[in-house]
Chains A and B, each alone.
Chain A
Amino acid sequence: MTTTPRLTRDDVAHVADLARLTLTDDELDAFTGQLADVLDHAADLEALDLDDVPPMANPLPLVNVLRPDVPVPAGDAEGAADFHAEVLAAAPSVEDERFRVPPVLGESP
């Protein structure tokens, strides 16, 4: 595999945008150097021959873990209605028992 080019300021601006973060110019400069350092350290992996090595996503050999499809009350024994109210109470903005957000596309209705 070819050596990956060093991370640029534009790369960092792009990933910040993807991750929904706004960076100041100073932050962009600092983060670019710091993130490039981490990626440079990771260049030691390029020495490894990994062509025949399978990737590992999780340490356990478990697949498709299922439990019986039996409804249980959310939260605790007091039941689902309280749990529902507690979840909504923790939200920044609620309307008609739903999470309220600003318009997603253009004008609000």
Chain B
Amino acid sequence: MSARAIATAVRAGERSARSVVEEHLAAIDSGEGEIHAFNLVLADEALVRADDLDRRIANGEDPGPLAGVPVALKDNLCTRGIDTTCGSRILEGWRPPYDATVVERLAAAGAVAIGKTNLDEFAMGSSTENSAFGPTRNPLDTSRVPGGSSGGSAAAVAAGFAPLALGSDTGGSIRQPAALCGTVGVKPTYGRVSRYGLVAFGSSLDQIGPFAATVEDAALLLEVIGGHDPLDSTSIPEASPDLLAVLGRGVEGLRIGIISELMGGPDRAASVEGIADDVRARVEQAAEALAAAGATVEHASVPSTIYGLSAYYLIAPAEASSNLARFDGVRFGLRVDADTAPEMNTATRTAGFGDEVKRRIMLGTYALSAGYYDAYYGKSQKVRTLIQRDFARAYESFDLLLSPTAPTTAFPLGDKTGDPMLMYLNDVCTIPSNLAGHPSMSVPFGSGDDGMPVGVQILAPALAEATMFRAAAVLEGSAP
């Protein structure tokens, strides 16, 4: 049952919120042992909340557009009084004293928080294998990864544990797992959704966004969580986008460009490497479907996107090294005691952080250190300008752009854990939108040669979520 159908039935009194929650808890009971989508299932809390919603409905109240809908929350979103681990030992047992803005907005819309989902530690990874609490498995084939870093959220939706989930996307951490698990995943425009209460990774890149089984449900969730928040100084003043109203408008007359540099293939010299043939074929098929629906589809060039990966893996670690300095054993989470404060800081961080987080902190520290700042961090910030300029040029001729979401379908657990650079290449198609601050989303479109889902990425200029969702609805309707 879709989130929209659940909310409609619950608001009309045709279904109790308790029955909805019980049904999803039963699904979690039977499947979670194998999949490990959650770090924490909020079974008791969700039932209490459902009963409260049912009481309010019986009293004639309308709890809102997500009445009774279970939502899974990535475990880097602060929930007051409820463990928020970020998949890290360093925050084990920490209970935030406040709710993230998105958590408050979900509550105000009548949603039910059903659990905190597993993630790569501090959202750093592309497979959810970097969690201190063990990996999440892909519900469609448990020998494979769900993608990451929001792998738990993607898996929760794909497994039917929750119709909706929230993730965070710094370089593809919503869209790539959505693609690998066959769900819809959206990274909104930077500033569209408040980051207040999202544990920071790369502050100029991070953005919270929805996972859903359908485009309509993703639109519903983004409408609820979007809009200005005075508690986030990078929150844009615009109201939340009106998406549900435009979903049926089609793509007639829209100009859509396939980004040549992100398609790979033998006839494209200036392209990123590693795009699998079966993935490319699905993106081309998606382009044909959009053309058949009345869009003008052509190849587009956004030349500097090929430098996105290099720039991102200097900028994001640089910001992370600064953001993660706060985990020092003083104010929250783990402390490993020592004779002096600096020794305590070092012992705590050494014991509390996993390898990938240490790699990124060191990479960022290096890129920001005296003598290397201009060569690495400064240069990457200039590349960011180039990418934004190239997108601006492309959007003079196109309304939307198209690419693969991930270079391949879901890969086996353990395949890439020994080679960080190989893992980073998963993000090559998703990173450019984060660097530019633009919205983009992944929509399932058929499967690869191995039968696993392929995601097609739709990219849009800043604030053009509505146009992006129109194309997503068409792709969903024409998926093979």
Contacts and interface: CB of A to CB of B under 8 A. Distances in A.
A81 interface: no
Contact of B421 (A1, A21, A41): A41
Contacts of B343: 102
A104 interface: yes
Contact of B372 (A4, A35, A74): A4
B311 interface: yes
Contacts of B462: 59
Contacts of B321: 19
Contact of A55 (B97, B191, B346, B382): B382
Contacts of A23: 358
Given A91-B330, A103-B341, A55 B375 contact: no
Given A75-B98, A90-B94, A57 B230 contact: no
A102 B341 contact: yes
Given A20-B349, A22-B346, A103-B340, A45 B309 contact: no
Contacts of A39: 363, 366, 376
A101 interface: yes
A44 B365 CA distance: 21
B384 interface: yes
A90 B85 CA distance: 13
A69 B25 CA distance: 45
A37 interface: yes
The B contact surface, by secondary structure, is: helix
Contacts of B329: 92
Contacts of A83: 97-98
A35 B366 contact: yes
Interface string B92-106: 001111100000000
Interface string A79-96: 000010011011111000
B381 A101 contact: no
Nearest to B375: A4
A42 B382 contact: no
Interface residues of B, number: 75
Contact of B334 (A50, A92, A99): A92
A27 B362 CA distance: 12
Interface string B324-354: 0000111111110111111111110110010
A77 interface: no
Classify chain A: how many residues form its interface, as a range: 35 or more
Given A45-B311, A50-B382, A60-B190, A35 B330 contact: no
A57 to B, nearest CB: 6
B230 A67 contact: yes
A34 B309 CA distance: 16
Contacts of A58: 204, 234, 437
Interface string A29-46: 001001101110110110
Contacts of A105: 340
Contacts, number: 179
A90 B332 contact: yes
A89 B96 CA distance: 10
A4 B230 CA distance: 43
B359 A56 contact: no
Given A15-B366, A35-B363, A41-B313, A1 B382 contact: no
Contacts of A74: 98
Contact of B384 (A15, A19, A56): A56
Contacts of A101: 330, 341, 344
A20 B346 contact: yes
B248 to A, nearest CB: 30
B35 interface: no
B379 interface: yes
19 contacts: A19-B349, A20-B328, A23-B358, A41-B309, A48-B307, A50-B383, A50-B386, A54-B382, A56-B384, A59-B437, A60-B191, A60-B234, A60-B236, A86-B81, A90-B331, A91-B330, A91-B331, A92-B330, A102-B341
What 5 A-B pairs have minimum CB-CB distances, sorted nearest first? A59-B437, A55-B381, A92-B335, A86-B97, A42-B310
Interface of A: 1, 4, 7, 11-12, 15-16, 18-23, 27, 31, 34-35, 37-39, 41-42, 44-45, 48, 50, 53-60, 62, 65, 67, 74-76, 83, 86-87, 89-93, 99, 101-106
Given A15-B362, A39-B376, 10 more contacts: A34-B419, A34-B421, A39-B363, A45-B380, A59-B388, A59-B462, A86-B95, A90-B94, A90-B95, A105-B340
